[in-house]
Structure 1
């Protein structure tokens, strides 16, 4: 498979996007510099999580601010436009309708990788993609998921920088940070400035 046919697929809540997300995208391009593109897909809501704090419009603006400087990186609004939770297999099927000749590389975190065999129609997902790219969130070395051993030829582990950041923890402190005008270290200046402008994480 030529890497020029490869399309990276990186979805998530991005509520808000932080430097950990940026490091993952940069690691994709470091590993696949000749890829066709990287598609960033903010979700409307995850089947596994509670609703977002920011509106879909604000999330989209923040994601654009975080990733817009990366070449061949596109923000795809399809999941936000559905206004409902979407499963990965549905999103991939829609993307393949748009890009039928592309080879998809799905990026997931090590926590999702460890439970990937519990995802709905996970084997179908592995049929839809050419590569499963697993990025680190907290582990120097990611333990293999034995449930996926027959698909090991499709799985690659990214050596992305570990940034101690999780959107859910970040949100819990953002209101205080906003009132104090103290930017959290894990937020880029562009995202921080937009959060202050839109006041999308002020709760009181």
Structure 2
């Protein structure tokens, strides 16, 4: 089975995450997309994160109506801060018959060469890239990416989603209605738990 791994803190998971993951499951060679909930990203302040299991619960709630989308807590038991290359090794040990690929935004691909053992990842795994709106100035020359044309990297014509968990958290704190941005069950859970206020 071909599994696409969609890594993130999902703090909270929102409709943009679902749109991208579902697009990957429906329009690529991937059979399933697993939402890998990261306990702690080395590049993020941990204090802004909800508890690991609360974020995992939201991913469960968000994906319950989708057969090809699944929550994954593999990183919860790995030493922190953890790196993707280690996660892939653990997944392959646990699911030797599966083939794992990474799903990432165009922005992440630009810094992929800074990832720990990125060459090993690229040697053993395909990468599915979804588009992001570039923050560079419109008249700036479009830089060539060192991974352009790489046989293991597939740029997918997925919908461009400009919605972030940060924006949602700030909006909730400011008392704004974010209901349309969240899967129904996730919004209900957040509201009942009084999160991000």
Superposition TM-score tier, normalisation by shorter sequence: 0.7 to 0.9
Aligned length, in residue pairs: 189
Deviating more after overlay: 162-171 vs 113-122: 162-171
Q: Give the TM-score normalised by the residue count of structure 2.
A: 0.86
TM-score normalised according to structure 1 size: 0.83
Trace 1:114-133 onto structure 2 (pairs within 5 A).
Answer: 114-129=110-125, 131-133=126-128
Other-structure match for 1:199: 194
Determine if the alignment matches structure 1 residue 56 to structure 2 residue 52. Answer: yes
Structure with the higher fraction of residues in helix conformation = 1
Equivalent position SS for 1:169? helix
1:122-161 to 2 correspondence within 5 Å? 122-129=118-125, 131-138=126-133, 146-149=145-148, 152-161=150-159
Report if the CA contact (8 A) 2:171-2:178 is conserved: no
Aligned-residue offset at 1:65: 1.3
Q: Gapped runs of 5+ residues in structure 1?
A: none
Unmatched runs of 5 consecutive residues or more in structure 2: 135-141
Match of residue 183 from structure 1: 178
* Residue aligned with 1:138, SS: coil
Q: CA deviation at 1:145?
A: 5.3
> What does residue 169 of structure 1 align with?
167
Q: Is contact 1:27-1:159 (8 Å) kept?
A: no
Larger deviation, residues 155-164 vs 13-22: 155-164
CA gap of 1:132–1:165, structure 2 versus 1, over 3 A, is same
